[in-house]
Structure 1
């Protein structure tokens, strides 16, 4: 079948075809970019935090009694927790990965260089932190008990030893990240710290931060009035030990409030709740647009069949068989859909460039556009199949009837 007669027929009745092509273009623009955002969000949500999430939980303790000695309570609490059967290890810190709240500072290789400093998440820790979190020390050494100090709320001096993540080492020493061990870096612009170890991965508390893999362990206990205990249990023991440890701490000290007990798995779920909501909304939008576009194609094709019944009957009377009529409408729809997806491809790339510029999204991968075009071409052909089959059923005798 030649394309030119079909195109000439479309040009004589172009309003409906233009509307469908425009609808297909808009649909493709939205669904391809939406799918890109969904995949991008799913990749973010699947990133490893670097810790043993399945066996970690934490809770906060806030003292309020007049005779509450925070330092003594922290020491006693950690001793009790670590001696609890089923507990692998525990330590005190200010935050955990993906929690949403924490500290950050700038770290530089030269003093007084605030402009070139690299942002890093700060986790206060002790010699038990690496074992508690289940992270891997890939270079250097761990803290020793004598390295750990106590930090008051108003203190501005930093300790002289730190452990950083591999991502942070790569930011400071891009040519050879392993050479970071033993090197001096500068925190708060002028205070020197020696990097004594590098851990493989430990995400920051903020999942949307571009430097989410850059973290630093600072060898200090904090005396901020409120403290957080991070606890790692034997596999399968976490849920049993959570209420047990909470009850033990409550009974051991009456002058405080225990709150915010949460697993790392729950923390991950809460951290990415917005991403999941976005994915659900976009998935629903994609489905709705595909249905609406499919119904639009069905409507246009059905209208075209009803309007051209006598023409179809005439063609049948002149020798066209059912396959010829079916093929005609399938090709006609293919032409309309092809125009729509071609325009949609340009609009898709344009919208993605706008989203990258305004929302700092990643550029769309090249294969999304052809995949989107093929998907809509398939939907278009599937949608027109029913009306095209009805057209092929029009009998030749209808050509002899008057309107």
Structure 2
């Protein structure tokens, strides 16, 4: 009570530290949960490469068919496709599907992957209802073509969003509409595949379209046998470059690298918040140590007098531990209120979720422990003060 300012400052420091740490932990947990989402494909054994033709006599269709035949024939390759976009890469195509035709109908956004009959095997997805594409379903699409094939595959998540009141399997055989009025039949349902945009709320709404692209630039997605990816990648690059001199081969990238690039902002945020939490904890602990040491130095004669009157070292130790516990209690109680307030502001400003309730008591316990550990050294020094110091001029 004789040093209110110091105690209040430490309590406020503990409150601010708790507020920032608890909300930071919650944000880190959310980001890690987002980063742990499975794309649905065999990421560990998949890579892609881009081919861009520039020669006047460059034949897109012939080149694609020859390339795919060569890639699929390589030892260690499970399958390969030409594809317009890559899952979780950040760039791709999207459309809207409607259950009824008309300009007045609301559509459900869906990511579009153009594939051939090897698409499900290359992506490593399962057809859980209906049928997969076959070779006769595949058509070529050039830059002037705006119509769509008669059949598509969609993910389970897309089926559930299109028909929320029905079992997803009932979507097989139903007609949906693209471009407002163009009918398409749902041929099958695949289990799971993610869109290119990791921040999209419809991340698992995907449709596979049976089309090959008659474009001068396109990507090949390749799936290898386990452990063969890094061996196959340079072989495919060299093979494509040497097989046709009228093109440029570039952007050779594994799916693991793509995931790391797409989530690097999340990783950076986690690293920054972790650093901030560590620094804040250290600064708070040092503040507690400083206040306790200052208190011990000011009260040496008082402590010595208590020791001379029979107080044990344990009693002196408990006194300082209890004093710190009281200061920490005020700090964590204020911190709990500030934590909730900051979370409510973050929910409104950045659309974050409500903080998990258990994080607040956990944060309180952690800050209590930090306070007790920090004060332990000065408290031990106080307990070691001899009774004789009471007779000295201090």
TM-score (norm 1): 0.94
Q: Within the alignment, does 1:309 sit opposite 2:288 as a pair?
A: no
> Over aligned residues, Cα RMSD in angstroms?
1.4
2:264 aligns with: 273
Deviation at 1:113, TM superposition (A): 5.6
SS in 1 for 2:111: strand
Deviates more, 1:66-75 or 1:111-120: 111-120
Deviates more, 1:144-153 or 1:343-352: 144-153
2:13 aligns with: 23
SS in 1 for 2:326: helix
1:3 aligns with: none
Equivalent residues in 2 for 1:104-119, closer than 5 Å = 104-112=94-102, 116-119=106-109
Deviation at 1:354, TM superposition (A): 1.5
Corresponding residue to 1:57 among 47, 58, 80: 47
Deviation at 1:388, TM superposition (A): 0.8
Q: Distance in 1 between matches of 2:135 and 2:252?
A: 27
Corresponding residue to 2:252 among 243, 261, 269: 261
1:79 aligns with: 69
Q: Distance in 2 between matches of 1:162 and 1:321?
A: 82
2:382 aligns with: 391
Q: Within the alignment, does 1:244 sit opposite 2:235 as a pair?
A: yes
Is the 2:324–2:371 Cα contact (8 Å) retained in structure 1?
A: yes
Aligned residues: 393
Q: Distance in 2 between matches of 1:390 and 1:247?
A: 71
Which residues of structure 1 form unaligned runs of 5+?
A: 1-9
Is the 2:53–2:217 Cα contact (8 Å) retained in structure 1?
A: yes
Deviation at 1:223, TM superposition (A): 2.3
Is the 1:108–1:114 Cα contact (8 Å) retained in structure 2?
A: no
Q: Within the alignment, does 1:352 sit opposite 2:343 as a pair?
A: yes
Deviates more, 1:242-251 or 1:319-328: 242-251
Q: Within the alignment, does 1:140 sit opposite 2:113 as a pair?
A: no
Deviation at 1:305, TM superposition (A): 0.8
Q: Kindly tell me: are residues 24 and 139 of structure 1, through their superposed partners in 2, closer, same or farther at Cα, counting changes over 3 Å? A: same
Corresponding residue to 1:182 among 173, 185, 189: 173
Q: 1:75-131 deviations in whole A, cap 9, x for unaligned?
A: 221122222222221111111111111011122212236663221111111111001
Equivalent residues in 2 for 1:2-401, closer than 5 Å = 10=1, 12-112=2-102, 116-175=106-165, 176-401=167-392
Q: Distance in 1 between matches of 2:161 and 2:174?
A: 14
Q: Kindly tell me: are residues 39 and 190 of structure 1, through their superposed partners in 2, closer, same or farther at Cα, counting changes over 3 Å? A: same
Q: 1:186-207 deviations in whole A, cap 9, x for unaligned?
A: 2222222111111111011111
Deviates more, 1:71-80 or 1:291-300: 71-80
SS in 2 for 1:41: helix
Runs of 4 or more above 6 Å deviation: none
Q: Distance in 2 between matches of 1:67 and 1:45?
A: 44
Q: Distance in 2 between matches of 1:142 and 1:99?
A: 25
SS in 2 for 1:217: strand
Is the 2:98–2:105 Cα contact (8 Å) retained in structure 1?
A: no
Is the 1:106–1:114 Cα contact (8 Å) retained in structure 2?
A: no
Q: Distance in 2 between matches of 1:393 and 1:82?
A: 78
Deviation at 1:169, TM superposition (A): 1.0
Deviation at 1:362, TM superposition (A): 2.2
Q: Distance in 2 between matches of 1:218 and 1:378?
A: 58
Which residues of structure 2 form unaligned runs of 5+?
A: none
Q: Kindly tell me: are residues 113 and 379 of structure 1, through their superposed partners in 2, closer, same or farther at Cα, counting changes over 3 Å? A: farther
SS in 2 for 1:390: helix
